[in-house]
Amino acid sequence: MRLRKVQGAEEKISESPFCIKDPAEKKGQWQDVFKNKAPLHLEIGMGKGKFLLEKAMSQPKINFLGLELHESVLVRGVEKQEEAELDNLLFLRENAESIEEFFEPGEIGHIYLNFSDPWPKDRHKKRRLTGGVFLARYDRLLPAGGIVEFKTDNKDLFDFSLEEAENSPFRVDTVSYDLHSDPVLSQGNIMTEYEERFSAKGNPICYLRLVKGE
């Protein structure tokens, strides 16, 4: 689906104090950027920012970064943050393929992947954020015990992701094909805009949690 261009999005993003410019220059210095030594969590493909904003509100002692390539959706997250003005939430308008340029190994403790683009054609599978290419990147960035959490309503993508994870350096910690029906996993679950929409249609939400070993 082609994204609708939002007039003024590029200017708003470039002018916002909550959007980091030249993130490669901040590599290894994110504690200085946030002006504290709190753990750093990253959402890749943050969309309009509902999930990350609620995360940052509920966990003020964690610093959150949202990475999003598309200006037309990122700008909505920027607008939400400009109203909330949370001290622990910043954004990057960047491509996920470049994340190793922005962070030192071990600098990120937790990665969230919510309703990522399924890239359904086989020739595009290297672009899937839960594929082996990206899992190798996460493995290099996360410390021992670091976590990757993934949610999707696309069962084909989920099955692919689970197979890739089982052949990766990560330990498969938790698997659910119906997150919302699980009384333990659903407790405290923060829904994204997509999740609310898909759930309202009766689509089960799949959930995968990976942990990096020692």
Domain count, the chain: 1
Q: Verify whether residue 139 is a known catalytic residue.
A: no
Q: Classify residue 115 as left (phi > 0), alpha (psi -120 to 50) or beta.
A: left
pLDDT tens, residue by residue, 143-175 = 999 999 999 999 999 999 999 999 999 999 999
Give the strands of the sheet with 110-114, arranged side by side: 89-92, 63-67, 40-44, 110-114, 147-152, 206-212, 170-176
Which CATH number goes with the domain that contains 106? 3.40.50.150
* The pLDDT value given to residue 7: 72
Q: Is the pLDDT of residue 6 over 90?
A: no
In a domain, 189, yes or no: yes
pLDDT band for position 62 (cuts 50, 70, 90): very high
* The pLDDT value given to residue 2: 47
Rounded average pLDDT over 176-183? 96
Distance (Å, rounded) from C-alpha 186 to C-alpha 197? 16
In a domain, 101, yes or no: yes
* The pLDDT value given to residue 46: 96
- In three-state secondary structure terms, 74 is helix
Q: Is the pLDDT of residue 30 over 90?
A: yes
In a domain, 84, yes or no: yes
Q: Is the pLDDT of residue 71 over 70?
A: yes
In a domain, 24, yes or no: no
In a domain, 71, yes or no: yes
Q: Is the pLDDT of residue 115 over 90?
A: yes
Catalytic residue of the set 117, 122, 159, 182 = 117
Parent domain of 146: 34-212
In a domain, 78, yes or no: yes
Instruction: Centre a 10 Å sphere on the Cβ of residue 63 and count the other Cβ atoms it contains.
Output: 24
Instruction: Centre a 10 Å sphere on the Cβ of residue 12 and count the other Cβ atoms it contains.
Output: 17
pTM: 0.95
Provide the residue count of the chain: 214
Rounded average pLDDT over 123-138? 96
Rounded average pLDDT over 94-110? 97
Taking all residues of the chain, what is their mean pLDDT, rounded to a whole number? Answer: 94
In a domain, 119, yes or no: yes
In a domain, 75, yes or no: yes
Q: Is the pLDDT of residue 78 over 60?
A: yes
Position 122, amino acid: D
